[in-house]
Structures are given as C-alpha cells and as structure tokens.
Amino acid sequence: MAPMRLILLLLLTIFLLPMQGFSAYIVRNGKMVDKEEMVTGSIQEHYSEALAAFENKNWKELRRQSNIIRHNFSGTLFAEEVIFLMGVSFFDQGDYEWANVQFSEYLAEQTAPKHFEETIKYKFEIAEKFREGARKHLMGFKTMPKWMKASVDALSIYDEVIAAMPHHDLAAHSLYAKGNIYLRAQDFRSSIEAYQTLIRRFPKHPLAAESYVGIAEVYLTQSKAEFADPDTIDLAELNLRKFRASFPGEEKFFDAQAMFVAMQEHYAESLWETARYFERTKKPGAAKIYYHKIVASYPEAPISERCKKRLEGVEVAIAKIEAKKAKSKKK
C-alpha cells in the first residue's frame, strides 16, 4: 500500500499545483488579470526593475518583472532580454533543467541573439552538470524533487553546442564528453564515433590525444564485455599507430599502450586456457598451435613468456610421441 499512497500523493500534488495561482487573479476593466503580470509602469521601468532584481539576486522579483514584460510586451528586445536573465537566475539557483528551458527559448526567439555565445557556454555548463550527476525535476514540475537522471539530456545539449559552434573549443569538449558518456553506457560504436569526430575536427587539440586514449579504453572494455574478436585488437593496434604518428612523444601514449597490452593479455588468456585444456587431454600437438599463436600474435602480453616455457614441455611431449610411433613401426 505504501507505494500506492506515494503515487496518489504525487498525483494530488500535481493536480493541486494549478490551483495555487487562482488567488493571484483580480478583475480589472472587466477582465481577469494576474497580479503577477499587471503593468504598473513603462516597459523601461519594468526592465530596470528586472535588472535591479537580477543584480541583487532577488529571484522572486525578477520572475515577477519577467512575467509582466513577457506577457504585456512580447516581441520586444526587453522581453527577449528577460528570458536570458531568467536562464541565468535558474542556473545560479542550481535548477539546470529550467535554466536550459529558458536558454533554449531565448535562442529560439531571434535569429541573432545578443548573448548567443554566452548562452551556448551556459548550455555547455548545464550539460556538464547533468553529466556529473545533477538531476531533473520529477515529471518536469518545478515544485517536484530532482530525482530524474539527465545523462540523455546532457548528450542532447552537447549536440546543440556542437551544432551551434562546430569549430569552437566547446565543441571539442562536448565531443569528448559524449565519448565518455557512451563509454560508460557501453555504447562502444557511438563512443568511438564521438572520439574520432573530435580527432578529425581538432587534430592537434589536447583532447585529441585524450580521445586516442579513450578509443583504446573502448576497445579494452569491449574486448572484456563481448566475445573475443581478432578484428577488435587489430583496430586497437591501428589506433595506437595513429596516436604515435599524430602525437610523437606524448606521455598519454603509454596509457593507451598499456591498455593495448592489457587487451592482448585478455585475448591471450582465452587462448592459454584452450592450450592448457589440450595439454591436460594429452594432445600436445594442438596445445602447441595455441601456445605458438599467443607468442606470435601477442608478444607484449606477459603471459607470452609463460607460453614459451610451456612450448618447451610440449615439444618434449611431442618428441616422445613421435619416438613411440617410430618404435611401433619398426616392430
């Protein structure tokens, strides 16, 4: 019953929310007018009040003045300006969901927004907050608690930033963040696509080097999460070669190289288990094939040294079998 009570309480809260505003309406000139939207001066006076409230971080008054301007002077530059101010106010209050709503509305209101670049920067910061774990309001209501994850929203906002300023530093950071989000979600193809787009568009950017490392991590994670595919390790090796060619002397290269070696070790271990199985079942010829494949294909893997020692024993076993066969033929 407890979950049902919670659901009913939430629904009741939602339905009662609109009722809270009825007491704010008055009759003026034969019409119902919201007191929060009632004009008491010129548009310049109301905008000055809005600016003063913004500077003093009086968010309640800013919202009131914004409502007056937007409802009574829509289409003016002042109305567009207060939308931007409201976006900043929500951001400063930590309500990133509604800040994003305001900034999106601000960008949609005009073709050449005065605060275009600043708005895009705010949007990027909102995406970063969502990526780091900031949450949205339940069911989108301002009065509801912030319980909903927003990683999908982060991806959408990063795409907006990339589309709005494709060659700006923020686009590089957005692409890198997308690669990281997709990696955590184990969407390997999308992660690699984001990293590679960054590398192509910003080939000498510091995050391009980080993206090569990111791709190496994708391949390593993928090799552990999915069935061993030799093509994946070939792609990982190609990524390593491109990294070295693009950033010679880069210290991060060794991080990517270590991941490649770990990947080799993972693949080698699966072959090792197969080789050991053939040894235990007295099939040294088959075991030799797998040990030799590990040594030849994954020489940097630590397990390769163990394979060399096992090969010595396997060779002895094969020699004994051959000698026994030869002896049997003589008889």
pLDDT of residue 281 exceeding 70: yes
Q: Which of 32-36, 71-75, 160-164, 323-327 has the highest mean pLDDT?
A: 160-164
Rounded mean pLDDT, 316-325: 82
pLDDT for the residue 59: 94
Contacts of 183 (CB under 8 A, 6+ apart): 191, 214, 217, 218, 221
Q: Reduced to 3 DSSP states, what percent helix, strand and coil does the chain have, rounded to the nearest 5?
A: 75, 5, 20
Q: Where are the beta strands (DSSP E) in the chain?
A: 25-28, 31-34, 136-137, 146-148
Residue where the block lists tokens 């009825």: 22
Looking at 15-125, which runs of residues are DSSP E strands? 25-28, 31-34
Mean pLDDT (whole number) for 153-157: 95
What tokens does 102 get? Answer: 């305001």
- Amino acid letter, 138: L
Instruction: Give the pLDDT of residue 95.
Output: 94
Q: How many CA atoms lie within 13 A of 235 on its CB side?
A: 16
Whole-number Å distance between alpha carbons of 306 and 317: 17
pLDDT of residue 205 exceeding 70, the answer is yes
More confident residue, 25 or 258: 258
Q: Which of 168, 169, 144, 171 is closest to 160 using CA atoms?
A: 171
Residues 6+ apart with CB under 8 A from 303: 265, 268, 269, 272, 294
Task: Assign 136 a pLDDT band (cuts: 50, 70, 90).
Answer: low
**Lowest-confidence segment of 57-61, 99-103, 149-153, 305-309 by average pLDDT:** 149-153
Please state the rounded mean pLDDT for residues 307-316. Answer: 88
DSSP letters of 104-161?
HHHHHH-SS-TTHHHHHHHHHHHHHHHHTT--EEGGG-TTS-EEE--HHHHHHHHHHH
| 201 has pLDDT over 60 | yes
Residue found under tokens 């066969």: 325
Percent of the chain at pLDDT > 70 equals 83
Q: What is the pLDDT of residue 230?
A: 79
Q: Which residues contact 129 (CB under 8 A, 6 or more apart)?
A: 96
Per-residue pLDDT at 226 exceeds 90: no
pLDDT in tens, 168-178: 999 999 999 99
- Report pLDDT digits (tens) over 187-199: 999 999 999 999 9
Q: Rounding to the nearest 10 degrees, give the CA dihedral for residues 171, 176, 178, 183.
A: 170
Confidence of residue 21 (pLDDT cuts 50, 70, 90): very low
- For the entire predicted model, the pTM comes to 0.80
Q: Taking 60 as the threshold, does the pLDDT of residue 45 lie above it?
A: yes
Q: What is the mean pLDDT of residues 125-146?
A: 75
Say what the pLDDT of residue 41 is. Answer: 84
| Whether 103 contacts 127, CB under 8 Å | no
Residue 257 confidence (pLDDT) above 80:
yes
| b/e sequence 181-200, b meaning 16+ C-beta within 10 Å | bbbeeeebebbbebbbbbbe
Alpha carbon distances (Å) from 286 to 156, 272, 276: 52, 12, 10
Which tens digits make up the pLDDT trace of 65-97? 999 999 899 889 999 999 999 999 999 999 999
Break the chain into its structural domains and give their ranges: 259-326
Residue 134 pLDDT: 73
